[in-house]
């Protein structure tokens, strides 16, 4: 079999192969994602399904209890019942009168005949009287105690019913005999007069929980831990009714009562609040039971991911070794170049990196030769500059010549010429400044004044110089020739083309650790602000500000055509020894 010459592949092909290999590693992450998503989707679908079922269960309970509620309201609020409850009890007996008991029994029988859910009816009035009625033959001995002095108004269920102010209150147990809770539900209602809302007594109706069994559907046979339960938080045991397989439902109920439905592990709960009773209809299931399908998906993906991962590691190891070989050679060549070696003997293949290595060897040799030539040319150029400097005019000769012209002008009586020559001489001195970069602000202002005197002679007093500089900043230092180029620019490009007189105004002030200057003229202005940067002098000033002070400092130009131009200069305060404040 012919060996694959990977070294001859294009670099992009090698990168593509590497990316394909790295993609294989992503299979593991994708597998985990698939397993996680499948598990979540199964739980979400289960939750959505049971939310709909629980709402249906709750609606069925509502339908049956609303019928009972309407029946009780129509019978209890009858005028005769209210009249009986309003009667006084002068003897303090716990019994109603015979006629009243007969009427109350008829009311209870009527309720029982119209609803099979009503198991017993108990009535307490505000005068200490008590009446009870049971469906069929019942053992009522447990309830005889309520004919005595037993005060039920202090019971928690009684106070909850009072807070409802006549609205029916449901409890998931027998409120009168809490120990007798099996299959019992209590409806408690405070009786009020329809005419004046006067509180007359308390009605307790004991219901069988058969309406719960007929409303709730059976548990799903697909899941072993599927549990349906009804929770009444006002009941001692909380659980009114539940279905499911033992003992799984006991663990699910216990966990719900201790932790609530917000805990993620180990059970999933779906809840719905019944609108009539306020009870919670809850479905609970163990996540391990629910996620059997996702476990199968996760196992399959995990096995596939491990297999792909092993192959990816093997291939990536082989390919990376072949790809890195020419890179290591190139790194070795670069190290030899860094050490200044010209004798590079490393051999490269015909691939892209190999061609780069061969080109590098040729380039190194060529650059070394070019460097030697440039060094030779630089030496010759320095010799030429030295000769040129020797041939230049000595500045002292220039100062002495200007002084001689000044003396001759004074002797001839040409005071104007003498003054102009003197200003020019002083301008040269400030400009050269003995080779120093820094001058004081006062010296910069003096330089501008002498420059404007020369311009004043040239233009016969057409232009005025206005200076408003804070006195406390005059001794401060700045790099030389920062402001003068802008004054010169105002003269040549702003004022000279202008008809009539004009002015140049210079302002300077200090604000904390910064200096702010402005150079303003009332010349012809500019339409294009970029024109101010066309001259070498202005660009030189901006470059020197950036180099010396930093990029955060510089100038800002504003101009109105036909009205004038303003340049704002911003630099930091500089100490005399050269640092910044």
Q: pLDDT-derived band of residue 146, with 50, 70 and 90 as boundaries?
A: confident
| Residue 58 pLDDT | 83
pLDDT of residue 427: 57
Question: Residue 375: which residues within 8 A CB-CB, separation 6 or more?
Answer: none
**Strand pairing partners for 208?**
184
Instruction: Give the dihedral sign, CA 448/454/458/464.
Output: positive
d(CA 88, CA 129): 10
Q: Dig out the tokens for 570 from the structure.
A: 């911003």
Q: What is the mean pLDDT of residues 118-126?
A: 90
Give the mean model confidence (pLDDT) for residues 486-498.
Answer: 89
SS3 at position 458: helix
572: left (phi over 0), alpha (psi -120 to 50) or beta: beta
Residue range 510-526, pLDDT digits in tens: 999 999 999 999 999 98
What topology is assigned to 436-572 in CATH? Heat Shock Protein 90 (3.30.565)
Q: pLDDT of 535-555, one tens digit each?
A: 767 888 888 888 888 889 999
Nearest alpha-carbon partner for 542 in 479, 450, 475? 479
Report pLDDT for 384: 42
The DSSP-derived string for 230-276 is EE-TTSSS-EEEEES-TTHHHHHHHHHHHH-TT--SSEEEEEEE-TT
Tell me which residue of 489, 579, 577 sits closest to 533, measured CA to CA: 489
What does each C-alpha distance from 277 to 157, 173, 411 come to in angstroms? 14, 13, 124
Q: pLDDT for 62-109, tens place per residue?
A: 888 888 889 888 888 777 888 888 888 878 888 888 888 899 999 888
Backbone torsions φ then ψ of 476, nearest 5 degrees: -70, 155
Q: What's the longest Cα–Cα distance across the chain?
A: 153
d(CA 226, CA 243): 9
Whether the CB-CB separation of 554 and 570 falls below 8 Å is answered with yes
Taking a C-beta distance cutoff of 8 angstroms, is the pair 490, 538 a contact? Answer: no
Adjacent-strand bridge partners of 352: none
Name the pairing type of β-strands 463-469 and 502-511: parallel
Q: 79 or 374: whose pLDDT is higher? A: 79
pLDDT level of residue 226 (50, 70, 90 thresholds): confident
| Residues carrying CATH 3.30.450.20, the chain | 77-212
Under DSSP, the state recorded for 386 is H
CA dist., res. 172 & res. 181, Å (int): 8
Mean per-residue pLDDT of the chain = 76
Contact partners, residue 399, CB within 8 Å, separation at least 6: 425, 428, 429
| pLDDT greater than 60 at residue 433 | no
The pTM of the whole model exceeds 0.75: no
Q: Which of the two residues, 116 and 376, has the higher pLDDT score?
A: 116
pLDDT at 505 over 90: yes
Q: Give every CB contact of residue 79 below 8 A, 6+ residues apart in sequence.
A: none
Q: Which residue has the higher pLDDT, 210 or 118?
A: 118
Place of tokens 């066309």: 534
| Least confident piece of the model among 81-90, 109-118, 390-399, 484-493 | 390-399
Cβ contacts of residue 29 below 8 Å, gap of 6+?
A: none
Query: Looking at per-residue confidence, does 375 or 163 come out higher?
Result: 163
Selection from 137-141, 174-178, 266-270, 417-421 with the highest mean pLDDT: 174-178
Lowest mean pLDDT of 54-63, 76-85, 346-355, 533-542, name the range.
346-355
Q: Whole-angstrom Cα distance, residue 403 to residue 178?
A: 126
Eight-class DSSP state of 4: P
Q: What are phi and psi of 245, to 5 degrees?
A: -90, 130
Q: What residues does CATH 3.30.565.10 cover in the chain?
A: 436-572
Whether 343 shows a pLDDT value over 90: the answer reads no
User: From 3.90.1150.10, 3.20.20.70, 3.30.1130.10, 3.30.450.20, which CATH number describes the 77-212 domain?
Assistant: 3.30.450.20
Residue 228 token pair: 């349906």
Residues composing the chain:
581
Residue 501 main-chain phi, psi, to 5 deg? -80, 170
d(CA 105, CA 298): 66
To 5 degrees, how large is the angle CA 328–CA 333–CA 335?
Answer: 95
Q: How confident is the model at residue 397 (pLDDT cuts 50, 70, 90)?
A: very low
Tell me the pairing of strands 239-243 and 227-231: antiparallel
Confidence of residue 408 (pLDDT cuts 50, 70, 90): low
- Gap between the Cα atoms of 430 and 427, Å rounded: 5
Q: Tell me the pLDDT band of 237, cut-offs 50, 70 and 90.
A: confident
Nearest Cα residue to 116 out of 136, 91, 143: 136
3-state SS record for 265-294: CCEEEEEEECCCCCCEEEEEEEHHHHCHHH
How high is the pLDDT of residue 230?
84
Three-class SS of residue 506?
Answer: strand
pLDDT of residue 371 exceeding 80, the answer is: no
Cβ–Cβ < 8 Å for 302, 252? no
The residue with tokens 């790295």 is 22
Query: For residue range 278-337, what is the model confidence (pLDDT) as tens digits?
Result: 888 888 877 777 666 666 666 776 677 677 767 766 666 666 666 666 666 666 666 666
pLDDT band at 340 (very low <50, low <70, confident <90, very high): low
Which are the contacts of 392, defined by CB distance < 8 A and separation ≥ 6?
none
Cis peptide before 266 (omega within 30 of 0): yes
Give 553's DSSP letter. Answer: -
Mean pLDDT of 1-24: 58
The CA-to-CA distance between both ends of the chain, in Å, stands at: 77
pLDDT at 537: 75
């Amino acid at each position: 079999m012919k060996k694959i010459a990977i070294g001859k592949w294009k670099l992009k092909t090698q990168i593509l192969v590497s990316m394909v290999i790295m993609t294989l590693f992503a299979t593991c992450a994708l597998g985990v994602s698939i397993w996680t998503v499948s598990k979540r989707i199964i739980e979400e679908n289960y939750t959505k399904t049971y939310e709909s079922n629980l709402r249906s269960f709750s609606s069925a309970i509502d339908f049956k209890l609303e019928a009972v509620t309407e029946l009780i309201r129509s019978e209890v609020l009858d005028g005769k019942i209210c009249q009986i409850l309003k009667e006084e009890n002068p003897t303090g007996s716990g019994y109603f009168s015979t006629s009243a008991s007969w009427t109350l029994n008829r009311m209870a029988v009527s309720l029982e005949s119209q609803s099979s859910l009503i198991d017993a009816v108990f009535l307490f009035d505000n005068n200490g009287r008590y009446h009870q009625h049971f469906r069929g033959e019942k053992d009522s001995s447990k309830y005889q105690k309520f004919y005595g002095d037993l005060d039920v108004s202090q019971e928690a269920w009684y106070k909850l019913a009072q807070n409802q102010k006549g609205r029916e209150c449901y409890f998931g147990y027998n409120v009168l005999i809490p120990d007798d809770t099996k299959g019992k539900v209590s409806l408690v209602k405070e009786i009020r007069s329809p005419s004046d809302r006067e509180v007359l007594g308390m009605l307790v109706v004991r219901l069988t929980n058969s309406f719960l069994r007929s409303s709730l559907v059976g548990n799903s046979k697909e899941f072993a831990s599927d549990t349906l339960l009804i929770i009444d938080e006002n009941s001692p045991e909380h659980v009114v009714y539940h279905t499911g397989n033992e003992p799984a439902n006991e663990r699910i109920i216990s966990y719900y009562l201790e932790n609530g439905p917000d805990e993620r592990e180990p059970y999933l709960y779906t809840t719905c609040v019944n609108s009539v009773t306020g009870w919670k209809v809850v479905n609970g299931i163990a996540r391990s039971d629910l996620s059997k399908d996702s476990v199968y998906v996760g196992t399959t993906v995990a096995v596939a991911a491990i297999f792909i991962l092993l192959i990816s590691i093997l291939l990536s190891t082989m390919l990376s070794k072949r790809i890195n070989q020419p890179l290591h050679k190139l790194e070795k060549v670069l190290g030899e170049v860094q050490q200044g070696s010209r004798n590079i003997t490393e051999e490269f293949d015909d691939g892209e990196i190999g061609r780069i290595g061969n080109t590098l060897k040729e380039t190194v040799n060529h650059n070394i030769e070019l460097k030697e030539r440039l060094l030779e040319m630089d030496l010759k150029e320095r010799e030429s500059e030295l000769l040129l400097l020797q041939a230049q005019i000595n500045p002292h000769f220039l100062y002495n010549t200007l002084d001689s012209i000044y003396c001759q002008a004074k002797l001839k009586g040409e005071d104007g010429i003498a003054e102009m020559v003197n200003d020019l001489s002083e301008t040269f001195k400030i400009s050269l400044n003995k080779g120093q970069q820094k001058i004081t602000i006062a010296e910069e202002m003096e330089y501008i004044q002498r420059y404007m005197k020369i311009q004043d002679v040239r233009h016969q007093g057409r232009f005025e110089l206005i200076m408003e500089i804070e006195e406390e900043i005059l001794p401060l230092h700045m790099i030389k020739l920062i402001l003068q180029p802008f004054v010169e620019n105002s003269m040549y490009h702003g004022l000279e083309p202008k008809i009539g007189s004009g002015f140049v105004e210079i302002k300077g002030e200090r604000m904390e650790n910064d200096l702010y200057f402005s150079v303003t003229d009332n010349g012809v202005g500019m339409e294009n602000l970029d024109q101010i940067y066309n001259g070498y002098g202005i660009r030189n000033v901006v470059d020197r500000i950036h180099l010396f002070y930093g990029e955060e400092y510089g100038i800002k130009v504003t101009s109105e055509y036909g009205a004038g131009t303003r340049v704002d200069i911003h630099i930091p305060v500089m100490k005399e020894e050269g640092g910044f404040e």
